[in-house]
C-alpha cells in the first residue's frame, strides 16, 4: 500500500498528502476478509492540499496485499484535464456522477453516470470534465496503480 501511496504523491507532486495517507492500514489478512464501507465513511484526501477547495480528491478503498490490485474513487473538479498517460496495470473507470470524457487511439467517448470503460495495460489515454460539472469515478486496477506521463506532461491545475 505504501508503494501505491508514494506513486500517488509523485503523480501529484505532494509529499504532505502522501504523509497523511500512508498512515492508513489495510485490515490484517485483507485478501480473505470481507470489507464493507458506507459512502459516509469514505475518507477523502486532497490530491493537492495547497489548492484547498480547488483540489481534486481521492479515496483509496482497497489495495490487495498480494497483487496490489487497487480500488479507489476520485472526485474530479469541473473543467479539468488529465494529460496523456498510461498505467502498467489494466484500468477501469465507472462514472458515479457527472460527465467524464476520455480519449485514446483517436477515439473520444463522453461517459455519464453508470458508464464504464476499460483501458488495457500501457494504453495511452487522456480525460476531461465539462466546465459546468465535475465527475466522481470508481477506478479499479488489476495491479498497482502507477502513472506514466507521455511527453513529460503533468497536471497543472
For residue 154, the model assigns a pLDDT of 59
The widest CA-to-CA distance across the chain, in whole angstroms, is 44
Q: Is residue 130 part of a domain?
A: yes
Q: Is residue 39 part of a domain?
A: no
| DSSP state, residue 78 | T
CB atoms within 10 A of CB 85: 19
The total domain count for the chain is 1
Q: Is residue 17 part of a domain?
A: yes
For residue 134, the model assigns a pLDDT of 95
| Distance between start and end Cα atoms, the chain | 26
Q: Is residue 157 part of a domain?
A: no
> What is the extent of the structural domain holding 113?
2-27+44-152
**Per-position pLDDT tens, the chain of length 157:** 444 444 444 444 433 333 334 444 444 445 678 888 889 889 999 877 888 888 899 999 999 999 999 999 999 999 999 889 999 999 999 999 999 999 999 999 999 999 999 999 999 999 999 999 999 999 999 999 888 989 865 555 4
Q: Is residue 125 part of a domain?
A: yes
Q: Is residue 115 part of a domain?
A: yes
- Structural contact between residues 110 and 151, judged by C-beta atoms closer than 8 angstroms: no
One DSSP character per residue, 102-154 reads EEETTEEEEE-TT-EEEE-TT--EEEEE-TT--EEEEEEESS----EEGGG--
Residues in the chain: 157
pTM, entire model:
0.75
For residue 49, the model assigns a pLDDT of 85
For residue 132, the model assigns a pLDDT of 93
For residue 74, the SS3 value is strand
Q: Is residue 32 part of a domain?
A: no
Distance of CA 93 to the CA centre of its chain: 9
One DSSP character per residue, 17-71 reads HHHHHTT--PPTTTTSS-----GGG---EESSGGGGGGS-EEEEEEE-TTT--EE
Which residues on neighbouring strands pair with residue 44, listed in sequence order? none
Q: Is residue 140 part of a domain?
A: yes
Q: What is the CATH number of the domain that holds 131?
A: 2.60.120.10
Amino acid at each position: 500500500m505504501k508503494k501505491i501511496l508514494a506513486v500517488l504523491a509523485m503523480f501529484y507532486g505532494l509529499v504532505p498528502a502522501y504523509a497523511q495517507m500512508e498512515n492508513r492500514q489495510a485490515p490484517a489478512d485483507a485478501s480473505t476478509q470481507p470489507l464493507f464501507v458506507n459512502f459516509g465513511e469514505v475518507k477523502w484526501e486532497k490530491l493537492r492540499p495547497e489548492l484547498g477547495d480547488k483540489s481534486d480528491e481521492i479515496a483509496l478503498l482497497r489495495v490487495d496485499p498480494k497483487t496490489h490490485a487497487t480500488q479507489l474513487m476520485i472526485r474530479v473538479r469541473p473543467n479539468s484535464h488529465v494529460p496523456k498517460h498510461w498505467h502498467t496495470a489494466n484500468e477501469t473507470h465507472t462514472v458515479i456522477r457527472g460527465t467524464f470524457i476520455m480519449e485514446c487511439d483517436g477515439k473520444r467517448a463522453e461517459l455519464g453516470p453508470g458508464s464504464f470503460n476499460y483501458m488495457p495495460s500501457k494504453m495511452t489515454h487522456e480525460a476531461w470534465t465539462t466546465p459546468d460539472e465535475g465527475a466522481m469515478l470508481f477506478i479499479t486496477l488489476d495491479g498497482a496503480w502507477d502513472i506514466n506521463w507521455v511527453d513529460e506532461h503533468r497536471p497543472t491545475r
